[in-house]
Amino acid sequence: MSETLFEKIINKEIPSDIIYEDDQSIVIKDINPQAPVHLLIIPKKPIPMLSKATESDKELLGHLMLVAGKLSKLLILDDTFNIVINNGENAGQTIFHLHLHLLSGKSFNWLPA
């Protein structure tokens, strides 16, 4: 299988604004921000989408959530942010490597358009 765009970013083959990185994840600025703060929390393991995750990914999925909380403190987001996961093409997913959108600094109506 060919590398996803996010694998290329993780491998530093493509440049990005990296906000945070650890052994299991990387956090970058979204290239097309939909809020004053729009970050992508990406697992280094290339899971195509949330619904393809398995029991063995349980700890990793929890880790990604904890990274969101860590970013809130790091970037002083005042505990105010939204997490969005698009799962599947019809739900707006365009990059088939699981990622969490972290959005802050803007109020969204539920559901965002």
* Choice among 38, 63, 97, 99 that is catalytic: 99
Q: Is residue 99 among the annotated active site residues? A: yes
Q: 3-state DSSP call for residue 40?
A: strand
- Taking alpha carbons only, the member of 50, 48, 41, 53 closest to residue 101 is 41
Q: How many angstroms separate the first and last alpha carbons of the chain?
A: 32
DSSP 55: G
Nearer to ligand 5GP, 29 or 70 (CB): 29
Q: How far is the CB of 43 from ligand 5GP (least distance, A)?
A: 14
Nearer to ligand 5GP, 67 or 79 (CB): 67
Q: How far is the CB of 70 from ligand 5GP (least distance, A)?
A: 19
DSSP 14: S
Contacting positions for ligand 5GP (CB under 6 A): 5, 16, 28-32, 40, 86, 92-95
Q: How far is the CB of 37 from ligand 5GP (least distance, A)?
A: 13
Nearer to ligand 5GP, 53 or 95 (CB): 95
- CA distances 44 to 24, 92, 112, Å, are 5, 21, 27
Indicate which residues carry an active-site annotation. Answer: 99
